[in-house]
């Protein structure tokens, strides 16, 4: 089980700020995103390949190939715009 968080425009599109997701033992960021996208609806729209989004695992920026293990905190969000 991992905790998935959504921020900013992604959170508004999906309508959920955070949720628990069950993943296989050899899960990766790409696998999680594929699972979420396969739900269809707002998830598929928010995570479509032509939209720009970023992923952080345990509060560090991550790549699609990075592994995810049980207990991790995974955040998905649009490119940042602070400052």
Partner 1 sequence: MFQPTIRIQSADFDMTDEHAAMRGRHRNVGAIASFVGVVRDVNDGSGVSTMTLEHYPGMTEKALAKIVDDATSRWQLIDATVIHRIGSLLPSEQIVLVMVASAHRQDAFDACAFIMDFLKTDAPFWKKETTADGSRWVDARVIDDNARNKWHAT
Question: Cα–Cα distance between 5 and 72 in angstroms, integer?
Answer: 11
Number of Cβ within a 10 Å radius of residue 37: 15
Beta-bridge partner residues of 4: 19, 74
Pick 26 or 52: Cβ nearer partner 1: 52
53 touches partner 1 by CB under 8 A: no
Write out the binding residues for partner 1, residues 10-49 only, by CB under 8 A. 12
65 touches partner 1 by CB under 8 A: no
List interacting residues with partner 1 (CB under 8 A).
Answer: 5, 7-9, 12, 52, 56, 59-61, 75, 77-83
């Amino acid at each position: 089980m991992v905790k998935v968080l959504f921020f900013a425009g992604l959170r508004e599109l999906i309508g959920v700020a955070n949720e628990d997701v069950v993943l296989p033992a050899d899960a990766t960021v790409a696998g999680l995103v594929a699972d979420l996208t396969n739900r269809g609806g707002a998830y598929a729209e928010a995570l479509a390949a032509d939209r720009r989004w970023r992923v952080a695992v345990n509060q560090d920026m991550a790549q699609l190939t990075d592994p995810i293990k049980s207990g991790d905190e995974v955040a998905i969000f649009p490119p940042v715009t602070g400052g």
